[in-house]
Structure 1
Amino acid sequence: MERLILDGIGRFTGDIVTQVTHFAPWLRNHGFRAGISETLTAVAALAELNLDSMDEVCSAFRAIYSRTPAEWGIFPSLFERYFCGRGVRLEEKRRLQPDDSIGGAGAGRQTERPPGETVQGFLAGYHPYDGERFALRADERVLKDVVQFTRLAVRTMDAPRGRKWRSRGREKIDLRQTMRCALRLAGEPFVLRMRRRRPDKPRIVLALDISGSMKPYAPFLAALAWSFTRARARTQIFLFSTRLLRVTSLIARKGVSGIPLSDLPGLRGGTRIGGALEQLLRRYPSLLHRRTCVIIASDGFDAGHPERMHTSMRDLAGRVGRVVWINPLLGEPGYEPASAGMSMALPYIDAFIDVHDAATWKKAVLGGALRRSAP
């Protein structure tokens, strides 16, 4: 095992060494394979790096901890969250200040320091006792109503024919059900039970926009996504802002209690709907076929290229059975879908509806917006 010389890290305090030491276990919680060897290499690299330049530290640590292309791509956002704390917070960011005994003439004054600046050997902007920040949390006040209407919507959707039995023009006796019914009548089969086709579950792909402009509607959309996991349907849930992230199991487990930002790696501010739909078409083609109903929840403000949005929506509409677009701004007085992204998507949308609370969701379900999953 590599051995460290005390002279190499003598100019650092125990706080910064401890912080780097705890970085590897934190990365392992996000899927990295980081161990003792990477930690020793990172601590040794501190002696050669300029800690005032966090970009230099990030580049060095990226080469040490990243092993795969996926880890290489996601590492900068994880490094920034752990060391710099530049992500969106629900409360004012706390900064560590120098002690009065070392500050000299300027000691005691609360001076604002840029993120990533070192203060007494500790990287400012990070504190080990910072609380969790929830990016998505379902509104518990409307969960019961939303689940009820979602189950109603799923029951009214068209489903493909089940695989267990197909009708061949004549009815067949269901021997198992007939014998079970005969047990109640002393074993005499007075009533013949006929086999019935059990319809398959409807297939639904739900894509939710969690950019800053959709923040006021995030609690309801989280409740809506969670309700689809409690309905009898084959549902896949995705979140997108600048990229696409599959979160079906995460929504099912933590949709009500709250999903912290640490569980949503790589999702940054801004919206690129066309790019996210391109990833959906390229990475998950098996989910998109003629019996699939795709539900997109977004206000349509796309920061990407309009042609990319047009191509993605054209390919998506040509592959799936039905595209439903939920726009919470549609009910606002004076709103017109005149943005570049929304205007490119409109020709390929089968249902354009306003859903932003339980009442509007009920109206959309009873109006039949999701009734048909295939033309």
Structure 2
Amino acid sequence: MKSSFVRKREGNAAADLGTRSGVHNETLISTGLADLDNLLGGGIRLGTVVLLLQDALTPHGSTFLRYFVAEGAACGHTVHWAGASRPLASALPQLAKPRSHTARKESSKETADEEIPQLRIAWQYRRYIQRQQLQQQSGLPALQEDTAMSGIPALPSSMGRLTSSPAKGDTAAGTSKDWCHQFDLTKSMEDCGTRTAHLECRQYTGPQALDRLVADVQHMVDTLGRTRHDSASPSASRPPAPLQGPASIGRLAIEGLGTAAWRLGVPAPEQSRLLLLASTKIRALLKAALCSAMITVPAGELEASAVARLELLGDAVIVLEAVREDSGIARMISDGNSCCGLLRVQKSWQSSKGAKALPQADVHVIRHKRRRLAIEVLQVDPDAEAAEAERANKKSITASLLCSGPPQANTPLDF
């Protein structure tokens, strides 16, 4: 008897370039930084919003946003980059060009051609003699010789599989998709990459800036592919031919939402209300579309109540903090010179879904790795921690001596 059970699928969204399926059959896109993808459980789910709360001294929110936009441009996604000042496509990092597998294959082939054939044959005979001696000592029957190839004995079956089977890079060439490209922060993206990408950079300032932002997000969502939950709903404003392929996946990047540079021209309470209203509309638009958003929020410039409500609207919240050179953390961590910030995953959609708990480490370190950023778990150097404890102990002893008499005083008044 045939079963009527049919496994539900999310359509063919995961087959598009730049997306992959998650643990619970959700579609994920990369942030452009592999370390950040790992913290978020593999990437950003489509239809979600990631908030980056940063202080006034942390520029890494903009760097993560550049990673996010550059990844979308490299994958061919539709990207809308918004800010108080017009974002420049030249600020995106250049796609790193690792050494291709073809170049490595040609190099190894040239090296093999330079070898002396006689030495290679002698090496094979030596291995054959050693194998025969081991078999005689162990009492095992000798392997059959292959005299078809100029009298040279055949290699073991395991070696034959290694030498004859194609490399994984060859089998996946042209068929496997790139996930989380590598970028060089020291170089700007080439003009050809920004021209061919579906990238739109917009400036939003003035009293109607938030309304225009919501309208542009609505227009972008209408051009993207829809999820299966919303495919049956009629929409008069939807274009008859939506985008196909990687361009049907959207990315929304908003830099410094609600800063003074937006010049909304309203008091602080009204500004907070407008920000919450616009954020709610944007989240509702993205929830039914194949699009995700990354928004940087200056937590120090907004009211505490507004920041708390924005955290509730965000599906994932990441807090970025600066590190002072004279702080205790900078003195106790290893390689403090490369440390440039702290990162905390304050909220994630995984905890509510039950897919995966938050990272065990509460605090992560942002480091400069030559041409890229790296996120590592905060690890305290034992020697530095002991030195810090000894320094604190000396301070307490000095304070006690200043506030009391000498150590061998007979009475409290004996100085």
Smaller-chain TM-score bracket? under 0.3
TM-score for both structures, normalised by structure 1: 0.27
TM-score w.r.t. the length of structure 2 is 0.25
- When Rg is computed on C-alpha atoms for both structures, the one with the higher figure is 2
Structure number with higher relative contact order (C-alpha < 8 Å, ≥ 6 residues apart): 2
